């Protein structure tokens, strides 16, 4: 006679007793948390296999009032979301981590929240937690979400608090390394096209640009805001050319904006890199789809998505993950410098 036939369904308490660990440790393993020691993980997995334990998702949800759902909130319009490869990489990383758990992902694209529709839904208990990516200074509605459910931010929050959890890339270092490379290649009149200065990523990459120039004793070249879109990059490049003089080196804070800038430079009869050397940021598929192919700063967007999801799962399982995780960028040299 099977164990289930003799005793009814195996409980999580029986698994914990067999593994010699606490009930909460078994719960963390079942929910895919990484805050479990290798030895405890092995013991729990062995007990689950020996006892033929099958987690009852519906019962767990009722007992804990959990929905087993996580929200990804992107305060952008649909054009930006579907047009920027950064978001595809982020979502892929989040999804890859969640497939190893019982949680499902709900996507909310909201450049604003008229009538508090999204906010009210997320505060109603419809999800257990949220990941918020690409937020701006004006996106105050996300504060009301963070007051209701655990939140992990993609990027440094615009109103950072000590208790916040976020996963970011080292944008200051990335901007600094990009401009340092231009300086090392002999460029002296260096400008930049920034991302939105309502976003920490835009501010931090500009700060890196300025730090590199200051360290080299160079004056700051032209600065134009481009908005992290190809059209924004093109418009910023036109303004820069109109105001003159033309820089001989240009740090563009995203590959999409660099694509827009390249098209304007070509139309003006300026060659890259002979007349203007360009470095982008992201190392997205855009970087290798343009001519010349972009030298760029690689940011690990897929990994960022995975780490954000892991952090939130740890929080929901009662763990104590790091509040701040900063990932490194890497210079990828191609043909535009």
In this predicted model, what pLDDT tens digit does every residue of 137-173 receive, in sequence order?
A: 888 888 888 888 899 999 998 888 888 999 999 999 9
Q: Which residue has the higher pLDDT, 42 or 204?
A: 204
Q: What SS3 state is found at 149? A: coil
Pairwise pLDDT comparison (181 vs 28), residue with the higher score: 181
Distance CA 306, CA 116 (A): 29
Mean pLDDT of 232-237: 97
Pairing of strands 295-298, 330-332: antiparallel
pLDDT band at 5 (very low <50, low <70, confident <90, very high): very low
Q: Which residues pair with 109 in a beta bridge?
A: 74
Instruction: Return the higher-pLDDT residue of 102 and 181.
Output: 181
- More confident call, 87 vs 115: 87
Report residue 54 as tokens.
């099958």
Q: Considering the chain, what percentage of its residues have pLDDT values greater than 70?
A: 91
Q: How confident is the model at residue 297 (pLDDT cuts 50, 70, 90)?
A: very high
Tokens 């987690």 belong to which residue?
Answer: 55
Q: Is the peptide bond before 245 cis (omega within 30 degrees of 0)?
A: yes
Residue with the two structure tokens 């096209």 = 193
What local confidence, expressed as pLDDT, does residue 55 receive?
63
Q: Check if the beta carbon of residue 92 is closer than 8 Å to that of residue 302.
A: yes
Task: Identify the CA nearest to 86 among candidates 297, 311, 331.
Answer: 297
Residues 36-64: pLDDT tens digits?
788 888 898 888 888 877 665 544 544 45
pLDDT digits (tens, 9 = 90+) for 239-273: 999 998 999 999 999 999 999 999 999 999 999 99
pLDDT tens-place string over residues 103-126: 999 999 887 766 578 888 888 888
Average pLDDT over residues 29-34: 70
Helix, strand, coil content of the chain in percent (nearest 5) = 45, 15, 35
Whole-prediction pTM value? 0.79
Quick check: 6 pLDDT over 50?
no
Nearest Cα to 171, choosing from 202, 149, 192, 141? 202
The three-class DSSP label of residue 162 is coil
- Collapsing DSSP states into helix, strand and coil, what is residue 117? helix
Please answer whether residues 325 and 169 qualify as being in contact, where contact means their C-beta atoms are separated by less than 8 angstroms: no
pLDDT of 68 higher than 50:
yes
| pLDDT over 50 at 4, yes or no | no
User: Which is more confident, 32 or 263?
Assistant: 263
So what's the pLDDT on residue 87? 93
Helix count (H) and strand count (E) of the chain? 14, 12
pLDDT of residue 186: 96
DSSP letters of 193-240? EE--TTSHHHHHHHHHHHHHHHHHT-----EEE-TTSHHHHHHHHHHH
> What's the whole-number mean pLDDT along residues 195-204?
94
Confidence of residue 182 (pLDDT cuts 50, 70, 90): very high
Burial class of residue 258, CB neighbours in 10 A (0-12, 13-18, 19+): buried
- Residues 186-209: what's their mean pLDDT? 96
Domains and CATH numbers, the chain: 3-63 (1.10.260.40), 69-169+301-327 (3.40.50.2300), 171-298 (3.40.50.2300)
Q: Compute φ and ψ for 143, nearest 5 degrees.
A: -65, -35
């Amino acid at each position: 006679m099977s164990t289930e036939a003799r005793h009814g369904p195996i409980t999580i308490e029986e698994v914990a007793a067999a593994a010699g660990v606490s009930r909460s440790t078994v719960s963390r393993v079942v929910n895919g948390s990484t805050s479990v020691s290798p030895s405890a993980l092995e013991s729990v997995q062995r007990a689950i296999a020996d006892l033929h334990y099958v987690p009852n998702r519906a019962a767990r949800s009722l007992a804990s009032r959990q929905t087993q759902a996580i929200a990804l909130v992107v305060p952008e319009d649909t054009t930006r979301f579907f047009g920027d490869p950064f978001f595809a990489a982020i979502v892929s990383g989040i999804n890859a981590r969640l497939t190893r758990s019982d949680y499902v992902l709900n996507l909310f694209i909201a450049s604003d929240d008229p009538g508090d529709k999204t906010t009210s839904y997320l505060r109603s208990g419809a999800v257990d937690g949220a990941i918020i990516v690409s937020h701006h200074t004006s996106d105050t509605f996300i504060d009301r979400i963070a007051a209701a459910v655990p939140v992990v931010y993609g990027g440094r929050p615009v109103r950072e608090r000590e208790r916040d959890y976020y996963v970011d890339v080292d944008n200051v270092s990335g901007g600094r390394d990009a401009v340092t490379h231009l300086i090392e290649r002999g460029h002296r009149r260096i400008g930049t096209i920034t991302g939105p200065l309502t976003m920490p990523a835009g501010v931090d990459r500009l700060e890196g640009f300025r730090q590199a120039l200051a360290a080299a004793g160079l004056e700051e070249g032209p600065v134009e805001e481009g908005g992290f879109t190809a059209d924004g990059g093109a418009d910023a490049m036109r303004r820069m050319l109109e105001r003159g003089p033309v820089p001989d080196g240009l740090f563009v804070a995203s590959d999409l904006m660099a694509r827009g800038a390249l098209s304007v430079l070509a139309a003006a009869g300026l060659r890259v890199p002979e007349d203007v050397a360009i470095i982008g940021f992201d190392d997205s598929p855009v970087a290798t789809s343009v001519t010349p192919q972009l030298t760029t700063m690689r940011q690990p967007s897929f990994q960022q998505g995975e780490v954000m999801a892991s952090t939130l799962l740890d929080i929901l399982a009662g763990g104590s993950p790091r509040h701040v995780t900063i990932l490194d960028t890497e210079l990828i040299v191609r043909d535009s410098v």
